[in-house]
Amino acid sequence: MANLSGQVIASRYLVKSLVASGGMASVYLAHDNVLEREVALKVIHPHLAKDKSFVEKFRREAKVAAKLSHSNLVNVFDQGTDGEVIFLVMEYVPGITLRDALNDFGALEPNKALEIIEPLTSGLAAAHLAGILHRDLKPENVFLSDGGNVKLGDFGLARAISQHTQTGSVVGTVAYLSPELVLRGQADARSDVYSLGVMIFEMLTGSQPYRGEQAVQVAYQHANDNIPAPSTVNPKVPELLDEIVLWATARNPADRPASAATLLPVIARARKDLERGLTTSLQDIDKTARINFDSDFVPAAGATEVLETTPPQSTGLESNNAQRLRRSNKRSRFWLILATLFALFGGAGSGWWFSSGPGGLAAIPDLSGRSLEAAIEALLPLGVAVEQAEENSADTKAGFVTRTDPQAGARVFKNSTVTVFISLGPKQITVPEVAGLGTQEVASLLTEAGFTPGELKQYFGPNPKGQVVGLSAEVGSILNQGSTIDILVSLGPLPEVAGLPADEARLLLAGLSLTLKESEVFDNEIAQGLAVALVIDQTPLPEGGNAVLEISKGPEIIEMPNIIGETIAAAKTVLESIGLRVVVDTNQLSSNFGIAKVKRQSPAAGTQLRVGDSVTIISR
């Protein structure tokens, strides 16, 4: 589809740049001109906008996601249609996806992986408690923000939970599909848990559990094989995380956690135990803990507490996991070879998100629009040094903060230096000379100068067609940086039509972008049926401007009246009123024209004349 950058959607959302494009829609970074904030604008592809089923799926995403509100879910703000553009407005999450992190850094250290897994599970639990399945869990839909937050997004395949939701067809990304989706096309909350377990496996090992040249090969393995323990690929994975993955990815849905809300307290406890350096297994974490989840509350990452602990009960989980671990050992040689290969290419989970991200000491707040004093007051508690710099800004009033370096959301250590930029107001720029340049050259020149190229406005005039003749602002004038300037382009001169047959004149004008009317007029010089002139109401004439094609009716014939005996003044008035030009042949002073009489006239009364002809009145 055509790039929408620069357009305003629904008279509200200014599209700034394309962020990503998938099989169903494109996502743009946009500015909400009403609420003055950055948003993500998801636009369905034009060829799919004609398909009612796709449009309904797209609108269902908005309705489903709008029901959810949680710190670890991407919020949906708006949905609508603007002409042929069908769009969804979501929270903009600056940062990277989990897929980006895995591609860049490979396998993550267990404690770092849990920094993502717990808030991710918390967000999914919120969806499950609201009665919503995600059905397309994959690293591409997990966002790691610049501020250190983890957010789950893209509920494009989401459905309300029933005991067994029939999908009608296998959906989701095949690498993360549960066995029941592959075999029966049915899903419930435990299907999302399976996909989450596969993602945890990938975070801990740097690879997906099943690979194949075709999607059907991967689907077959999900349906017929058990996901191996992550430690068979990455020996650094502790037993506890092995067991969590094996529990979440059990082939029989009945052997999995009932939902993400069931899995969340176990994940939270595992994270705490690993942070404390405790060596535990799943049986050490009481799976029968009673946690009272309010229907509108899901604990945020790091806030879960295990309450009312009771002695472990035999659930069959321990023996099931032990058997699966023993089976997986038979394949350990193969996986250990792969682990060696992954170790060559996969990082230890270090990198941006874990160093200057959540591992940093403090996040820089968004200070844009504040006074310098307020900015310093906000930064002092972070223990950073503050430096001041100035810059021009078309968007921020002079004397107020435009931005910081490092930018808002970045995490910094104590004693770091943060530069606060103060607006000097818009930069004043001289409008350049552009006559004779091409339109692309002019647009580039305006952009480089600091202006915003506006519309191409075309005019009929003496310059050759396509030549830039000027700008909507006077050359040499001073304007604010960012001002919009239209480019004036010549459509070429209007054709000469005088003396052409009417049909030929009409054909000549038909290809021009004019609002054309016709009028019949008398003309002494041009014969009846020929074009007299093309009359325009302004010069230069803009594209689509008004023009009148005058067609001759021939000369207008009048009869010479008898004015003998009338005063010179009276006779002159009568003759001029009917369109004749009057010559006075007299020896009288003009002061006597109201008294002196006309004695003769030329031509004689009754003579046929044309309007504009000359006649003579004689008084001697």
Segment 369-388 shows an average pLDDT of 86
What pLDDT band is residue 361 in, cutting at 50, 70 and 90? low
Max mean pLDDT range (95-99, 430-434, 581-585): 581-585
Confidence of residue 364 (pLDDT cuts 50, 70, 90): confident
Q: Which tops the pLDDT comparison, 289 or 70? A: 70
Of residues 390 and 326, more confidence is placed in: 390
Q: What is the pLDDT of residue 285?
A: 58
Computed from CA positions of residues 374, 77, 16, 20, in that sequence, does the dihedral angle turn out positive or negative?
positive
pLDDT value, residue 303? 31
Could you tell me the two tokens for 378?
Answer: 């906000």
What percentage of the chain's residues is helix, strand, coil (to nearest 5)? Answer: 30, 25, 45
More confident residue, 319 or 553: 553
Looking at per-residue confidence, does 257 or 76 come out higher? Answer: 257
Among the listed ranges 54-58, 119-123, 284-288, 385-389, which one has the minimum average pLDDT value?
284-288
Q: Can you tell me the distance from the alpha carbon of 154 to that of 136, in angstroms, rounded to the nearest whole number?
A: 8
Which residue has better confidence, 559 or 363? Answer: 559
Lowest mean per-residue pLDDT among 166-170, 185-189, 466-470: 166-170
pLDDT number for residue 284: 58
> Is residue 595 predicted with pLDDT exceeding 90?
yes
Q: What confidence tens digit (pLDDT) does each residue in 548-562 have?
A: 999 999 998 999 999
Structure-model confidence comparison of residues 360 and 473, the more confident one: 473
Angle between helical axes of 332-345 and 317-329 (0-180°, round to 10): 80
pLDDT of amino acid 186: 80
Q: Is the pLDDT of residue 504 over 80?
A: yes
The three-class DSSP label of residue 403 is: strand
Q: What does the pLDDT look like over 70-129, one tens digit per residue? A: 999 998 888 899 988 999 899 999 888 999 899 888 999 999 999 999 999 999 999 998
pLDDT value, residue 184: 82
* Residues 522 and 554: beta-carbon distance below 8 Å: yes
Q: What is the pLDDT of residue 280?
A: 60
User: How far apart (Å, rounded) are the C-alpha atoms in residues 187 and 181?
Assistant: 6
Q: Flag whether pLDDT at 152 surpasses 90.
A: yes
Q: Does pLDDT of 294 surpass 70? A: no
Tell me, what's the pLDDT at 23?
66
3-state secondary structure of 464: coil
Mean pLDDT value of segment 198-208: 96
- Which range is least confidently modeled, 59-63, 95-99, 304-308, 449-453? 304-308
Among residues 583, 577, 573, 587, the alpha carbon closest in space to that of 615 is found at: 583
Q: Cβ–Cβ contacts within 10 Å for residue 433, how many?
A: 12
Residue 59 is predicted with a pLDDT of 79
Q: Model confidence over 224-248: pLDDT tens digits?
A: 999 999 999 999 999 999 999 999 9
Catalytic residue among 136, 146, 154, 188: 136
In this predicted structure, the answer to whether residue 605 has a pLDDT above a threshold of 70 is yes
Q: What pLDDT does 336 receive?
A: 38
Which structure tokens are listed for 105?
């850094």
User: Confidence class of residue 53 from pLDDT cuts 50, 70 and 90?
Assistant: confident
Please determine, for residue 327, whether its predicted confidence score (pLDDT) is greater than 50.
Answer: no
Q: Predicted confidence band at 524 (pLDDT cuts at 50, 70, 90)?
A: confident
Active site residue 136: yes
Which one, of 58, 54, 86, 61, lies nearest residue 76 by Cα? 61
Dihedral class, residue 618 (left if φ above 0, else alpha if ψ from -120 to 50, else beta): beta
pLDDT value at position 61?
A: 67
Region of poorest pLDDT, from 210-224, 298-312, 313-327, 422-436: 298-312
Mean pLDDT score of the chain: 82
Q: What is the mean pLDDT of residues 45-62?
A: 78
Max mean pLDDT range (48-62, 238-252, 426-440, 465-479): 238-252
Higher pLDDT, 545 or 185: 545
Q: What is the number of other CB atoms lying within 10 angstroms of the CB of residue 194?
A: 26
Residue with the larger pLDDT of the pair 425 and 22: 425
Question: Beta 614-619 vs 600-602: how paired, if at all?
Answer: antiparallel
The SS3 of residue 384 is coil
Dist CA 378 CA 367 (whole Å): 8
pLDDT band at 577 (very low <50, low <70, confident <90, very high): very high
Q: Is the pLDDT of residue 287 over 80?
A: no
* pLDDT in the model for residue 342: 37
Domains by residue range for the chain, with CATH: 8-91 (3.30.200.20), 96-354 (1.10.510.10), 361-423 (3.30.10.20), 428-490 (3.30.10.20), 502-552 (no CATH), 557-619 (3.30.10.20)
- Within 10 Å of residue 189's Cβ, how many Cβ atoms? 26
Residue 357 predicted with pLDDT over 60? no
> 414 or 480: whose pLDDT is higher?
480
Residue 339: CB atoms within 10 Å: 22
Instruction: Tell me if residue 14 falls in helix, strand or coil.
Output: strand
Q: pLDDT for 336-350, tens place per residue?
A: 333 333 333 333 333
Q: Average pLDDT for residues 37-64, to the nearest whole number?
A: 81
Cα separation values, 581 from 344, 563, 595, 610, 616, Å:
104, 14, 21, 11, 9
Question: For residue 354, what pLDDT is reported?
Answer: 44
Give the residue with greater pLDDT, 309 vs 277: 277
> Which pLDDT score, from 0 to 100, does residue 453 have?
93
Q: Is 509 helix (H, G, I), strand (E, B) or coil?
A: helix
Q: Which pLDDT score, from 0 to 100, does residue 325 have? A: 45
pLDDT at position 345 is 35
pLDDT, average across residues 507-525: 91
What pLDDT is stored for residue 337 in this prediction?
Answer: 36
Sequence-distant (6+) residues with CB within 8 A of 369 are 396, 400, 401
Structure-model confidence comparison of residues 104 and 309, the more confident one: 104
Lowest mean pLDDT among 61-70, 210-219, 396-405: 61-70
